[in-house]
């Protein structure tokens, strides 16, 4: 190989290297400009947001009415768990979701409801009480017992407000 051929090859490499760096720089600047423009458009609310009701003409979304509901708070229960467990007591507090027309009936039956809950919670195995996933099953069992005492259709749900083992 002659010296002319080697110098020509190195010149081609230098010019091609400059072209690729120039294209990379142009691409990088373009990406930054597009990214900045997209950020501004999103930040200013021009893209990706729904128009507010004030700007459209006072259109309000349809909101469904809540069903009529009443709540009956139950007295807190403290259940002793026995000497062979790591936890000594269960503190339980709940509220009943009741049909408003039957609220007075359920209030009259509160002592029976508390008795049923107290009896059930004393009979439950302590291992089940300590399992966090068992709370759903416990709630269903307690709700069914409450519905048997109060009568079908009076109590919709049992809301557990406090379930503390100590």
pLDDT confidence tier of residue 154, bands split at 50, 70 and 90: very high
**Residues 87 and 117 sit within 8 Å (Cβ to Cβ):** no
pLDDT confidence tier of residue 12, bands split at 50, 70 and 90: low
Contacting residues for 122 by C-beta, under 8 A, at least 6 apart: 79
pLDDT confidence tier of residue 103, bands split at 50, 70 and 90: very high
Strand, helix or coil at 15?
Answer: helix
Q: Which residues pair with 163 in a beta bridge?
A: 92
| Residue 127: predicted pLDDT | 86
**Which CATH architecture group holds 70-165?**
2-Layer Sandwich (3.30)
The DSSP letter of residue 47 is S
Mean of pLDDT values over 131-156: 93
| Residue 20: predicted pLDDT | 66
How does the average pLDDT of the chain come out, rounded?
A: 84
Mean of pLDDT values over 9-36: 73
Query: Token pair for residue 24?
Result: 């990379």
Q: Which residues pair with 71 in a beta bridge?
A: 97
Contacting residues for 160 by C-beta, under 8 A, at least 6 apart: 92, 93, 94, 135, 139
pTM: 0.60
């Amino acid at each position: 190989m002659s010296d002319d051929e080697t110098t020509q090859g190195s010149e081609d490499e230098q010019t091609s290297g400059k072209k690729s760096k120039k294209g990379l720089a142009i691409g990088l600047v373009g990406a930054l400009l597009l990214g900045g423009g997209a950020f501004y458009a999103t930040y200013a609310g021009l893209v990706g947001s729904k128009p507010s009701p004030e700007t459209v003409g006072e259109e309000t979304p349809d909101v469904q009415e809540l069903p009529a509901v009443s709540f009956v708070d139950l007295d807190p229960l403290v259940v002793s768990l026995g000497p062979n467990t790591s936890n000594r007591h269960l503190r339980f507090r709940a509220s009943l979701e009741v049909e408003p027309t039957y609220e007075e009936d359920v209030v009259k039956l509160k002592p029976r409801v508390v008795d049923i809950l107290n009896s059930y919670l004393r009979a439950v195995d302590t291992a089940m009480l300590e399992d966090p996933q068992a709370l759903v099953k416990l709630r269903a069992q307690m709700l069914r017992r409450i519905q048997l005492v109060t009568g079908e259709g009076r109590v919709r749900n049992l809301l557990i407000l406090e379930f503390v083992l100590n």
